[in-house]
A and B are shown apart, each in its own frame.
Chain A
Amino acid sequence: MAEYPPSLERLLHELEKLPGIGPRTAQRLAFHLLKQPADISRALAAALVDARTKLHPCRDCFNLTEETLCNICASSNRERSSLLVVEDPSDVVAFERTHEYRGLYHVLGGTLSPLEGRGPQDLTLDALVERVKKAGSFKEIIVATDPTVEGDSTALYIQQLLKGVTVKVTRLARGLPSGGDVEYADESTLLKALEGRREL
């Protein structure tokens, strides 16, 4: 097999590190970009670097933001009595699309997964307990991790952590397909899950 020039080799190597992208997809993306005018590649590179330098976790909820606080935490229109705990920033977007939930969020950064070497210290769990205690305004913590084994176990861990703190901890109902992903659930499924939540 013919060898690629070093710069192309490097591009493929970087693309293949992305989730869901194997050698073939990497090749397709790279050749597609190289066929287009150079401006397209420059714009992509600039957008990547720009997003990466400007975005960081929100001080309170760990959602992505360019400011100290994300626009949800900063808003005066949100109810400060309920907190929806999700795995990733993309889940926040999914729930916001329902236009139904008016409370605040907390982004964990994943689930517990010993197989992938992810323990409690790798999630924003300490910050969650701290936040709930300090705010004192939360009446309900809704755990909306994915309905997977890992999501369930993480929900259970959160419940244990919050045992001493006097708030109600609920879990999203199983309206979500088992083994499913919050991010991909459609809005009506999410709504049903939200309405049918149960106390842990």
Chain B
Amino acid sequence: MHVCSLRLSHFRNYDTLEVEFHPQLNLFLGSNAQGKTNVLEALYCLSTTRSFRGSSDDEIVQFSQEAAAIESVVQREEGQEQVRLELRRDKPKTLLVNGKKQKKLSSLLGRLPAVVFSPDDLFLVKGGPSLRRRYLDTMMFQMDAGYLAHLQQYERALKQRNSLLRQRVPNLESQLAVWDLPLAQHGAAIMKRRLEISAQLSRSAGEALRDLTGGAEKFEVRYEPTLPVEGDEGSLEKKMIEAFTKARREEIARGVTVVGPHRDDLGLWVNGQMLRKFGSQGQQRTGALALKLAQLDILAEGCHTAPLVLFDDVMAELDDKRQAFFLNRLQQGGQAFLTGTAPADFAAAQAKARVFRVEAGKIQMTQEGPKPVPVRA
């Protein structure tokens, strides 16, 4: 599967854009602030319905315009499919597949999985737990629509419950109880799934780190929930309710819910040491790369297709050996989109890629790239 073409209108700094992609390697070169990342962002929107920069639709729609559109033709095994996403400043997005309006945006998820590599990935290791939860979540909901539903309902119930905790109402206990239950139900489902994926992640990221470091380092990813995740979902639900009851006084004093998956973290350990605290900058960078590579593997398996690889400004950070490693990796299947400022950073990749020059919201193809090598059917 690959994206054949992309059309944008009033998306970020693109008035209109029409490009045809190479089925394997695509390279976008240009100075800063010309629109390279914006192209990757558009592709990611088609994959997940949202921006990887955490931007709202209001920020994405071109200044002084009311609506933006992203449209692409995707080549699947079953045939070609046209996907169109329309974004508006003050209304929800609409999704059209082959010209037909879709009831649910979420029907897009998992159809065109994507993984972004960016210099910000370092924060996956160095930053706070919320970034690691988002990393888990964006991977999970591409594979499992049920997970997204649980997550959305959990977050809604959590907001309601926290709001109630801050109100001074007479029968607070009995009112809290009706929010404890949905929180426990959806929370238990989320924790169970996160535990499973963490085990898979630990294996996959471990392998990736071995590949990246030539077997020198042992990587471990540990799921760190706020209460032990044991037994089936039903008994976990009960344990959560008990935990709420135990924490009631603290929660009322602080006005927030203190147990539940919204407080989860992923512990990252290299050779038995906590990467965030004791890893060198280089080790942390490598750890982040391994996490992203693991995401690539897990999504490929879970979605039964090779994800799009969106490689934003990352090549320049890699030494020759790593560049060669990634290039080799990217050629094993899947379609990749790479951005950078200096052609020199792509010496090895250039010969194999279609090359585009990006300037002030305009894109020009400067090299068509090799005839695509057929990779698996």
Give the B-binding residues of A (Cβ under 8 A): 22, 112-115, 119-120, 148-150, 152-154, 156-157, 160, 178-179
Nearest CB in chain A: distance from B145 CB, A: 11
Nearest CB in chain A: distance from B66 CB, A: 9
**Which residues does chain B contribute within 8 Å of A154, judged by CB atoms?**
178
* Beta-carbon nearest neighbor of A111 in chain B: B160
Nearest CB in chain B: distance from A25 CB, A: 11
* Beta-carbon nearest neighbor of A161 in chain B: B174
B344 within 8 Å of A (CB atoms): no
Nearest CB in chain B: distance from A177 CB, A: 9
**Which residues does chain A contribute within 8 Å of B177, judged by CB atoms?**
156, 160
A153→B149 contact, CB < 8 A: no
Given contacts A114-B160, A153-B157, A157-B175, 6 further A-B contacts (CB under 8 A): A112-B178, A153-B160, A153-B178, A156-B177, A160-B177, A160-B178
Indicate the size class of the contact surface on chain B.
Answer: 20 to 34
B181→A149 contact, CB < 8 A: no
B159 within 8 Å of A (CB atoms): yes
* Beta-carbon nearest neighbor of A22 in chain B: B90
**Could you pull out 29 A-B pairs where Cβ atoms are within 8 angstroms?**
A112-B160, A113-B160, A114-B160, A114-B163, A114-B164, A114-B167, A114-B175, A115-B160, A115-B163, A119-B169, A120-B175, A148-B156, A149-B157, A149-B182, A152-B182, A153-B160, A153-B179, A153-B181, A154-B178, A156-B177, A156-B178, A157-B174, A157-B178, A160-B177, A178-B149, A178-B153, A179-B149, A179-B152, A179-B153
Among A113, A115, A149, A153, chain B packs the most CB atoms within 10 A around the CB of A149
* Beta-carbon nearest neighbor of A155 in chain B: B178
Complex alpha-carbon distance, A63 and B157, angstroms: 28
Within 8 A of A (CB), among B2-33: none
The 4 closest A-B pairs by CB, nearest first: A114-B164, A114-B163, A153-B178, A156-B178
Complex alpha-carbon distance, A148 and B179, angstroms: 12
Main secondary structure of the interface of B (DSSP, over half): helix
**Which residues does chain B contribute within 8 Å of A114, judged by CB atoms?**
160-161, 163-164, 167, 175
Given contacts A22-B90, A178-B149, contact A149 B160 (CB under 8 A): yes
Contact with A along B173-192 (1 / 0, CB 8 A): 01101110110000000000
B175→A156 contact, CB < 8 A: no
Nearest CB in chain A: distance from B18 CB, A: 29
Complex alpha-carbon distance, A178 and B151, angstroms: 13
Give the A-binding residues of B (Cβ under 8 A): 90, 149, 152-153, 156-157, 159-161, 163-164, 167, 169, 171, 174-175, 177-179, 181-182
**Which residues does chain B contribute within 8 Å of A153, judged by CB atoms?**
157, 160, 178-179, 181-182
* Beta-carbon nearest neighbor of B163 in chain A: A114
Given contacts A149-B153, A178-B149, contact A156 B181 (CB under 8 A): yes
* Beta-carbon nearest neighbor of A115 in chain B: B163
Nearest CB in chain B: distance from A185 CB, A: 13
Nearest CB in chain A: distance from B166 CB, A: 9
Nearest CB in chain B: distance from A67 CB, A: 35
B160→A160 contact, CB < 8 A: no
Given contacts A152-B182, A153-B182, A178-B149, contact A119 B160 (CB under 8 A): no
Complex alpha-carbon distance, A178 and B161, angstroms: 20
B175→A150 contact, CB < 8 A: no
**Which residues does chain A contribute within 8 Å of B161, judged by CB atoms?**
114
Nearest CB in chain A: distance from B164 CB, A: 4
Given contacts A22-B90, A153-B178, A157-B178, contact A115 B157 (CB under 8 A): no
**Which residues does chain A contribute within 8 Å of B153, judged by CB atoms?**
149, 178-179
* Beta-carbon nearest neighbor of A158 in chain B: B178
B169→A150 contact, CB < 8 A: no
Complex alpha-carbon distance, A113 and B179, angstroms: 10
Given contacts A156-B181, A178-B149, contact A149 B156 (CB under 8 A): yes
Nearest CB in chain A: distance from B156 CB, A: 5
Q: Which of B90, B159, B169 contacts A115 (CB 8 A)?
A: B159
* Beta-carbon nearest neighbor of B171 in chain A: A120
Complex alpha-carbon distance, A115 and B88, angstroms: 26
Given contacts A119-B169, A149-B182, A178-B149, contact A112 B157 (CB under 8 A): no
Complex alpha-carbon distance, A178 and B149, angstroms: 9
* Beta-carbon nearest neighbor of A157 in chain B: B178
Among A114, A148, A150, A179, chain B packs the most CB atoms within 10 A around the CB of A114
Complex alpha-carbon distance, A150 and B160, angstroms: 8
Q: Which of A119, A149, A178 contacts B175 (CB 8 A)?
A: A119
**Which residues does chain A contribute within 8 Å of B178, judged by CB atoms?**
112, 153-154, 156-157, 160
Complex alpha-carbon distance, A152 and B179, angstroms: 9
